[in-house]
Structure 1
């Protein structure tokens, strides 16, 4: 299962992610839908977090359901999305369900890399397939094994955004194909700094494994792209977009 993360940093998550072009990601997914002759009306955002991509989808006129495993992140999303009266579901990724099937299911910003056990990734894919109508698409991005391998013990960087200073340290385990990311925040509060620490883990999966699990879940046409492009992934592709169709 996805470990309990994004708890203490949820309040500051949007500040940490400033600079991410979520709107561009949504435009890219819309182009993927056009390429697959899909005109979606309903969308499920798996791992919706604080709801920024979800907000863009609402503003585009889609009916959106958000699913996330962190109640703290969903609290932020609920406030952000309040004008749209959102349906937000607290659930583990491997057993989420909805009442009515959707046209499009997305999972962005390497949310599925947080699943460290292959069987739980399979169950997540099965849930996704069950929630899609026939002809629907499951679109998600992942850090590749190569991309995660670049996050080695020498990978340390700092950033500052609106009163939040953060230190990011990562280490890659080549045997487990997992990266451990340690995040330390220093948050300015009333002239003092509050320290917050969280540890996140991400696992890399081969294209072969992903395709095998998706086919086992019932998906048919499966395509891999370099992220934000329509090019085939290369050996040194850091992030990949996966498109799986339900027939």
Structure 2
């Protein structure tokens, strides 16, 4: 199998232009509202926000609409190009960088990663590097809010096969257990887009979805100087105070510098 970093890079290079079609079912306005509610509930020193793994800007733009001063960061130039072409993109500063090696961007009151971008990082060593970067970016007392998949969801994803038909596009999702580790899944996405001459163009890429247990996440945060305040389970679109690692879709962590 190819290196996980290379697979993720190829996935977003190959499908970055189609990402909004692929994820059209995601309710980013809902997710941004949930994140905004969590930030208000736990309290942040201000409104300056760094959105890591922002992709095509959907999360960053929704957070900006919720009143935050947003800088969106992603490693994919293709996805950032899409983000900069969207309505209200002037309200967000978009930058290209790797979350494991962020440049000095100053301090932020809040750091977010929405939609599980950390699941593409290859295990605890990469996640530790990302947490170190977050620690350097957070202002004193700043909040860090992010989500990761549960093992139950990744295991279900490994058996998943579904077709999503959109206008002028058909998206095929196929999951399979990954050789990268337990509760880790290879997700292959085929996108068929209609050409003007009646033919179709096929794009196909695979990404790896890793799993890191909540207790290990807490330990890695602590090693970076960040304290975990609370972790919530997400089930049927609602936050739960206790995480069910099998039934819940993902878990959201709120931590503080």
Distance 1:241 1:81, change over 3 A: same
Q: Secondary structure at the match of 1:80?
A: coil
2:245 corresponds to which residue?
Answer: 235
Residue 137 (str. 1) matches residue 148 (str. 2): no
Residue 183 (str. 1) matches residue 183 (str. 2): no
1:195 corresponds to which residue?
Answer: 202
Residue 215 (str. 1) matches residue 222 (str. 2): yes
Distance 1:52 1:235, change over 3 A: closer
CA-CA distance at 1:74 after TM superposition: 0.5
Cα offsets for 1:80-121 (capped at 9, x unmatched): 156525322211121113432111111011100000131111
Distance 1:182 1:24, change over 3 A: same
Q: Is the 8 A contact 1:58 1:84 kept in 2?
A: no
Give the CA RMSD over aligned residues: 1.8
Q: Which runs of 5+ in 2 are unaligned?
A: none
Q: TM-score, normalised by structure 2?
A: 0.89
CA-CA distance at 1:162 after TM superposition: 1.5
Q: Which residues in structure 2 correspond to 1:1-247 (within 5 Å)?
A: 2=5, 3-4=8-9, 5-38=11-44, 40-80=46-86, 83-84=89-90, 86-152=92-158, 154-173=159-178, 176-177=181-182, 178-190=184-196, 191-227=198-234, 228-236=238-246, 237-246=248-257
Q: Which runs of structure 1 show a deviation greater than 3 angstroms over 4 or more consecutive aligned residues?
A: none
Cα offsets for 1:109-139 (capped at 9, x unmatched): 1100000131111010010111010111111
Q: Which runs of 5+ in 1 are unaligned?
A: none
> What CA distance in whole angstroms lies between the structure 2 residues aligned with 1:171 and 1:232?
28
Distance 1:35 1:58, change over 3 A: closer
Q: Secondary structure at the match of 2:206?
A: strand
> What CA distance in whole angstroms lies between the structure 2 residues aligned with 1:42 and 1:78?
19
CA-CA distance at 1:175 after TM superposition: 7.0
Cα offsets for 1:193-243 (capped at 9, x unmatched): 001001110100111111110110111233210124142101322211111
Q: TM-score, normalised by structure 1?
A: 0.93
> What CA distance in whole angstroms lies between the structure 2 residues aligned with 1:173 and 1:99?
35
> What CA distance in whole angstroms lies between the structure 1 residues aligned with 2:65 and 2:245?
37
Distance 1:225 1:169, change over 3 A: same
Q: Is the 8 A contact 1:115 1:203 kept in 2?
A: yes
Aligned length: 245
Q: Is the 8 A contact 1:107 1:140 kept in 2?
A: yes
